[in-house]
Amino acid sequence: MGLKRMIGRVAFALLVLGIVAWAVFPFAWAIVTSLKAGSALFTVEAWPSQPSLANYTAIFKEQPFGRNILNSLLAASSVVALSLGLAVLAAYALGRVRFRGRGLLLFVVLGVSMFPQVAVLSGLFELVRWLGLYNRIGSLVLSYLIFTLPFTVWVLTTFMRELPKELEEAAMVDGAGPFVIVTRVFLPLMGPALAATGLLAFIAAWNEFLFALTFTLTDDARTVPVAIALMSGASQYELPWGQIMAASVVVTVPLIGLVLLFQRRIVSGLTAGAVKG
């Protein structure tokens, strides 16, 4: 029996190892590549023999990458702030107020998120032009709300529904109106849900490519994913792999940091309501 258990443990460890390798390898390879310079790129080695940070300095000197990061940050944080703000208010209405057509409305919200991005692209382009937002960050904030709002609304609605009714009633007896109930009673209790949905919205906005490619034209309006994809070398025949990898590492590390920072809250946010307590 001891032997059987031993084999089981070893097999399990191998499985875990395999999964970790599968998940981490691409990123590790990107780090390794980003530290290589010139023709060293094309040698296969676990760690570069002469690691250099040249690629990292290059992306900020030769490319407007600092500006791109700023754009991405601006777009993603605006999207997070706007979608959380709107979603909290919508969640109160959809989760706590009884009205005709509430279920239908929730499904419409969900339905919106099922449209492929390409299907709405041309229409959105017209809208963006009409609003005068072309080649501005505003166009991205507007279009990103299309895919962040449905899931923020859904997650927060579910969460809000789980909050005890007596709490709202106690606040009503205390003289609170709907806005005060949302902001001063419910909002402080929604920390985990807000952290989880906010982070997911941030990641979605941070990684978005198609809208960002379509609605921006010049380097100083571009966001990170587009900038990386369009990075060009000294000649049109050269793809600056080293710089691309360096850029990828630079934009991935903050995300990993955020996830690690919020990971406990994300888990409790996503499973909120699943189990009482």
Partner 1 sequence: MAGVTLRGVRKSFGRIEVIHGVDLDVADGEFVAFVGPSGCGKSTLLRLIAGLEEPSGGDLSIGGQRVNDRPPAARGIAMVFQSYALYPHMTAYDNMAFGLTLSRTDKRTIAERVRAAARLLQIEDLLDRKPRDLSGGQRQRVAIGRAIVREPQVFLFDEPLSNLDAGLRVQMRLEIAKLKADLRATMIYVTHDQVEAMTLADRIVVLNAGRVEQAGTPLELYHRPRNRFVAGFIGSPAMNFLDVVSEGRADGSVRVWLPGGVPLDVAVGGAAPPAGAPLTLGVRPEHVGLADGGAGLVATILAVERLGGETHCHAALEDGQRLLVRLDGDRPVAAGERLRLNLRGETAHLFGPDGRRL
List of residues contacting partner 1 (CB under 8 A): 164, 166-167, 169-176, 180, 185, 188-189
**Nearest distance from residue 263's CB to partner 1, in Å?**
22
**Nearest distance from residue 272's CB to partner 1, in Å?**
14
**Nearest distance from residue 250's CB to partner 1, in Å?**
37
For 272, list phi and psi in degrees, rounded to 5: -60, 135
Cβ proximity to partner 1, 169 vs 220, nearer residue: 169
Cβ proximity to partner 1, 8 vs 191, nearer residue: 191
For 85, list phi and psi in degrees, rounded to 5: -60, -50
Count the Cβ atoms, other than its own, within 10 Å of residue 181. 20
Identify the bridge partners of residue 272 per DSSP, sorted by sequence position: 275
Cβ proximity to partner 1, 190 vs 224, nearer residue: 190
Query: What is the residue whose two structure tokens read 């040249």?
Result: 54
Cβ proximity to partner 1, 131 vs 167, nearer residue: 167
Distances 25 to 32, 35, 228 between C-alpha atoms, Å: 10, 16, 20
Cβ proximity to partner 1, 170 vs 229, nearer residue: 170
**Nearest distance from residue 91's CB to partner 1, in Å?**
18
**Nearest distance from residue 174's CB to partner 1, in Å?**
4
**Nearest distance from residue 95's CB to partner 1, in Å?**
17
Cβ proximity to partner 1, 180 vs 213, nearer residue: 180
